[in-house]
Chains A and B, each alone.
Chain A
Amino acid sequence: GQQLNQSPQSMFIQEGEDVSMNCTSSSIFNTWLWYKQDPGEGPVLLIALYKAGELTSNGRLTAQFGITRKDSFLNISASIPSDVGIYFCAGQLDAGGTSYGKLTFGQGTILTVHP
Protein backbone atom coordinates (compact mmCIF):
# COMPACT_ATOMS: atom_id res chain seq x y z
CA GLY A 1 0.00 0.00 0.00
CA GLN A 2 0.90 3.65 -0.01
CA GLN A 3 3.74 4.63 2.27
CA LEU A 4 5.57 7.64 3.42
CA ASN A 5 9.36 7.55 3.20
CA GLN A 6 10.69 8.65 6.56
CA SER A 7 14.36 9.25 7.25
CA PRO A 8 16.59 8.62 8.95
CA GLN A 9 15.55 5.22 10.30
CA SER A 10 17.54 5.79 13.49
CA MET A 11 19.63 8.47 15.14
CA PHE A 12 22.13 8.35 17.99
CA ILE A 13 22.86 11.80 19.38
CA GLN A 14 24.35 13.49 22.41
CA GLU A 15 22.17 15.39 24.83
CA GLY A 16 21.95 19.02 23.78
CA GLU A 17 22.25 18.36 20.05
CA ASP A 18 19.60 19.31 17.53
CA VAL A 19 17.73 16.65 15.56
CA SER A 20 16.09 16.74 12.16
CA MET A 21 13.94 14.11 10.46
CA ASN A 22 11.73 14.23 7.38
CA CYS A 23 9.06 12.46 5.39
CA THR A 24 8.39 12.43 1.68
CA SER A 25 5.57 11.05 -0.40
CA SER A 26 4.71 10.62 -4.05
CA SER A 27 1.17 11.78 -3.25
CA ILE A 28 -0.19 15.12 -2.13
CA PHE A 29 -1.40 15.24 1.46
CA ASN A 30 -3.70 17.84 2.98
CA THR A 31 -2.68 17.06 6.55
CA TRP A 32 0.67 16.18 8.07
CA LEU A 33 0.98 14.96 11.66
CA TRP A 34 3.96 14.09 13.81
CA TYR A 35 3.66 11.55 16.63
CA LYS A 36 6.03 10.12 19.28
CA GLN A 37 5.62 6.60 20.58
CA ASP A 38 7.21 5.26 23.75
CA PRO A 39 7.50 1.51 24.46
CA GLY A 40 4.21 -0.04 25.50
CA GLU A 41 2.22 3.08 24.69
CA GLY A 42 0.25 4.50 21.79
CA PRO A 43 1.48 7.34 19.57
CA VAL A 44 1.18 10.78 21.13
CA LEU A 45 0.46 13.74 18.87
CA LEU A 46 3.27 16.30 18.79
CA ILE A 47 2.37 18.68 15.98
CA ALA A 48 -0.43 18.95 13.39
CA LEU A 49 -0.02 20.82 10.08
CA TYR A 50 -2.86 21.73 7.74
CA LYS A 51 -1.55 24.25 5.19
CA ALA A 52 1.25 24.06 2.64
CA GLY A 53 4.22 26.07 3.88
CA GLU A 54 2.92 26.13 7.45
CA LEU A 55 5.62 26.20 10.13
CA THR A 56 4.48 25.26 13.64
CA SER A 57 6.33 25.00 16.93
CA ASN A 58 5.56 23.12 20.12
CA GLY A 59 8.23 23.93 22.70
CA ARG A 60 11.54 22.62 21.40
CA LEU A 61 9.81 20.98 18.43
CA THR A 62 9.28 22.65 15.06
CA ALA A 63 7.61 21.10 12.03
CA GLN A 64 6.85 22.33 8.54
CA PHE A 65 4.33 21.33 5.87
CA GLY A 66 6.23 21.33 2.56
CA ILE A 67 5.04 23.74 -0.12
CA THR A 68 4.64 20.88 -2.60
CA ARG A 69 2.38 19.14 -0.02
CA LYS A 70 4.48 16.01 -0.54
CA ASP A 71 6.88 16.39 2.36
CA SER A 72 7.28 17.50 5.95
CA PHE A 73 10.11 17.79 8.45
CA LEU A 74 10.40 17.78 12.23
CA ASN A 75 13.21 19.46 14.15
CA ILE A 76 13.98 18.96 17.83
CA SER A 77 16.30 21.50 19.38
CA ALA A 78 18.56 20.97 22.40
CA SER A 79 17.65 17.31 22.84
CA ILE A 80 17.18 15.83 26.32
CA PRO A 81 17.10 12.19 27.49
CA SER A 82 13.29 12.08 27.58
CA ASP A 83 13.21 12.75 23.82
CA VAL A 84 14.13 9.08 23.37
CA GLY A 85 11.47 7.18 21.46
CA ILE A 86 10.12 6.48 18.00
CA TYR A 87 8.90 9.42 15.94
CA PHE A 88 6.34 8.89 13.19
CA CYS A 89 5.11 11.15 10.46
CA ALA A 90 1.58 10.60 9.20
CA GLY A 91 -0.33 12.10 6.33
CA GLN A 92 -3.92 12.24 5.26
CA LEU A 93 -4.95 12.44 1.64
CA ASP A 94 -7.75 14.61 0.33
CA ALA A 95 -9.40 11.97 -1.80
CA GLY A 96 -13.00 11.94 -0.70
CA GLY A 97 -14.48 8.84 0.86
CA THR A 98 -11.33 6.77 0.70
CA SER A 99 -9.58 9.25 2.99
CA TYR A 100 -11.96 9.37 5.94
CA GLY A 101 -10.14 8.52 9.15
CA LYS A 102 -7.17 7.08 7.28
CA LEU A 103 -3.67 8.14 8.17
CA THR A 104 -0.71 6.83 6.19
CA PHE A 105 2.36 6.44 8.37
CA GLY A 106 6.09 6.60 7.82
CA GLN A 107 8.29 3.76 9.04
CA GLY A 108 9.43 5.73 12.07
CA THR A 109 12.69 7.26 13.28
CA ILE A 110 14.21 5.68 16.39
CA LEU A 111 15.89 8.39 18.46
CA THR A 112 18.49 7.59 21.09
CA VAL A 113 19.91 10.39 23.23
CA HIS A 114 23.12 9.81 25.16
CA PRO A 115 23.44 11.87 28.38
Chain B
Amino acid sequence: KAGVTQTPRYLIKTRGQQVTLSCSPISGHRSVSWYQQTPGQGLQFLFEYFSETQRNKGNFPGRFSGRQFSNSRSEMNVSTLELGDSALYLCASSWGPTLGGQPQHFGDGTRLSIL
Protein backbone atom coordinates (compact mmCIF):
# COMPACT_ATOMS: atom_id res chain seq x y z
CA LYS B 1 0.00 0.00 0.00
CA ALA B 2 1.54 3.30 -1.05
CA GLY B 3 2.26 5.77 1.72
CA VAL B 4 1.88 9.53 1.78
CA THR B 5 3.79 11.09 -1.11
CA GLN B 6 5.14 14.62 -0.98
CA THR B 7 6.73 16.50 -3.85
CA PRO B 8 9.19 17.98 -4.32
CA ARG B 9 11.55 16.62 -1.65
CA TYR B 10 13.80 19.67 -1.73
CA LEU B 11 13.22 23.24 -2.78
CA ILE B 12 15.38 26.36 -2.72
CA LYS B 13 13.74 29.76 -3.05
CA THR B 14 14.62 33.37 -2.40
CA ARG B 15 12.87 35.90 -0.20
CA GLY B 16 9.71 37.33 -1.69
CA GLN B 17 9.00 34.37 -3.95
CA GLN B 18 6.09 32.01 -3.52
CA VAL B 19 6.06 28.23 -3.41
CA THR B 20 3.55 25.39 -3.82
CA LEU B 21 4.02 22.00 -2.19
CA SER B 22 2.06 18.89 -3.06
CA CYS B 23 0.80 15.95 -1.02
CA SER B 24 -0.89 12.75 -2.14
CA PRO B 25 -2.50 10.91 0.80
CA ILE B 26 -2.76 7.19 1.37
CA SER B 27 -5.45 5.71 -0.86
CA GLY B 28 -8.83 5.97 0.88
CA HIS B 29 -7.71 8.67 3.28
CA ARG B 30 -9.73 11.85 3.00
CA SER B 31 -8.15 14.04 5.67
CA VAL B 32 -4.87 15.81 5.02
CA SER B 33 -3.01 17.83 7.65
CA TRP B 34 0.05 19.98 7.13
CA TYR B 35 2.81 20.68 9.66
CA GLN B 36 5.91 22.83 9.77
CA GLN B 37 8.97 21.36 11.49
CA THR B 38 11.86 23.58 12.60
CA PRO B 39 14.66 23.00 15.14
CA GLY B 40 13.42 25.85 17.28
CA GLN B 41 9.65 25.35 17.25
CA GLY B 42 9.39 21.63 16.60
CA LEU B 43 6.31 20.33 14.79
CA GLN B 44 3.59 22.95 14.43
CA PHE B 45 0.14 22.39 12.91
CA LEU B 46 -0.67 24.49 9.86
CA PHE B 47 -4.12 23.36 8.68
CA GLU B 48 -6.31 20.38 7.91
CA TYR B 49 -8.53 19.62 4.93
CA PHE B 50 -11.32 17.10 4.54
CA SER B 51 -13.55 16.72 1.49
CA GLU B 52 -12.06 19.83 -0.09
CA THR B 53 -12.90 21.95 2.99
CA GLN B 54 -10.53 23.46 5.50
CA ARG B 55 -11.79 22.27 8.88
CA ASN B 56 -9.04 23.60 11.09
CA LYS B 57 -6.21 26.12 10.99
CA GLY B 58 -3.18 26.73 13.16
CA ASN B 59 -1.58 30.00 14.18
CA PHE B 60 0.24 30.92 11.01
CA PRO B 61 -0.02 34.12 8.96
CA GLY B 62 -2.28 34.35 5.95
CA ARG B 63 0.72 33.87 3.66
CA PHE B 64 0.26 30.17 4.36
CA SER B 65 -2.69 28.68 2.52
CA GLY B 66 -3.81 25.37 1.17
CA ARG B 67 -6.42 23.52 -0.76
CA GLN B 68 -7.64 20.01 -1.34
CA PHE B 69 -8.87 18.47 -4.54
CA SER B 70 -11.71 16.03 -5.14
CA ASN B 71 -9.23 13.11 -5.21
CA SER B 72 -8.03 14.17 -1.70
CA ARG B 73 -4.66 15.36 -2.97
CA SER B 74 -3.64 18.58 -1.27
CA GLU B 75 -1.40 21.52 -1.95
CA MET B 76 -0.07 24.19 0.32
CA ASN B 77 1.15 27.57 -0.82
CA VAL B 78 3.40 30.06 0.89
CA SER B 79 3.55 33.53 -0.59
CA THR B 80 6.10 36.30 -0.05
CA LEU B 81 8.63 33.90 1.41
CA GLU B 82 10.68 34.97 4.42
CA LEU B 83 13.93 33.55 5.75
CA GLY B 84 12.04 32.15 8.73
CA ASP B 85 9.93 29.98 6.45
CA SER B 86 12.90 27.65 5.96
CA ALA B 87 11.68 24.36 7.37
CA LEU B 88 10.63 20.81 6.72
CA TYR B 89 6.98 20.82 5.65
CA LEU B 90 5.20 17.58 6.47
CA CYS B 91 1.91 16.28 5.24
CA ALA B 92 -0.09 13.64 7.10
CA SER B 93 -3.20 11.75 6.09
CA SER B 94 -5.90 9.86 7.94
CA TRP B 95 -9.32 8.42 7.13
CA GLY B 96 -10.85 11.51 8.63
CA PRO B 97 -14.62 11.83 8.94
CA THR B 98 -14.75 11.70 12.73
CA LEU B 99 -12.72 13.39 15.42
CA GLY B 100 -10.14 11.10 16.92
CA GLY B 101 -9.69 7.37 16.66
CA GLN B 102 -7.63 7.48 13.49
CA PRO B 103 -3.87 7.89 13.47
CA GLN B 104 -2.13 10.24 11.07
CA HIS B 105 0.49 8.85 8.72
CA PHE B 106 3.22 11.17 7.54
CA GLY B 107 5.08 11.65 4.30
CA ASP B 108 8.82 12.31 4.18
CA GLY B 109 8.30 16.05 3.78
CA THR B 110 9.51 18.84 1.57
CA ARG B 111 12.68 20.57 2.76
CA LEU B 112 12.27 24.26 1.90
CA SER B 113 15.31 26.53 2.09
CA ILE B 114 15.01 30.28 1.69
CA LEU B 115 18.07 32.23 0.58
The answer, among B96, B100, B106, for a CB contact under 8 Å with A44, is B106
Assess whether B43 is in contact with A88, with CB atoms less than 8 Å apart: yes
Q: Is B101 in contact with A98, judged by CB distance below 8 angstroms?
A: no
Of A50, A101, A106, most B-chain CB atoms within 10 Å: A101
- Residues of chain A with a CB closer than 8 A to B56's CB: 97-102
A31-B100, A35-B106, A94-B100 given; A102·B42 CB < 8 A: no
Measured CA separation A103–B37 after assembly (Å): 13
Of the candidates A35, A43, A97, A107, which one forms a contact with B55 in the assembled complex, judged by CB atoms under 8 Å apart? A97
A59 within 8 A of B: no
Tell me which residues from 56 to 109 in chain A have a Cβ below 8 Å from any Cβ of chain B.
88, 90, 92, 94, 96-108
| Contact between B55 and A100, CB atoms less than 8 A apart | yes
A-B pair number, CB within 8 angstroms: 82
Complex Cα gap A103–B47 (Å): 10
Question: Which range holds the interface residue count of chain A?
Answer: 20 to 34
* Cα separation A91 to B31 with both chains bound (whole Å): 17
Taking a contact as CB atoms under 8 Å apart, the answer to whether A45 and B31 are in contact is no
Within 8 A of A (CB), among B17-43: 31-33, 35, 42-43
B50 contacts A100, C-beta separation under 8 Å:
yes
A50 touches B33 (CB 8 A): no
Interface presence of A30 (CB below 8 A): yes
Residue on B with the closest CB to A47? B103
Interface residues of A (CB under 8 A from B): 1, 3, 30-31, 33, 35, 40-45, 48, 50, 88, 90, 92, 94, 96-108
Using a CB–CB cutoff of 8 Å, the interface residues on chain B facing chain A are: 4, 6, 31-33, 35, 42-45, 47-50, 55-56, 58-59, 90, 92, 94, 96, 99-101, 103-109
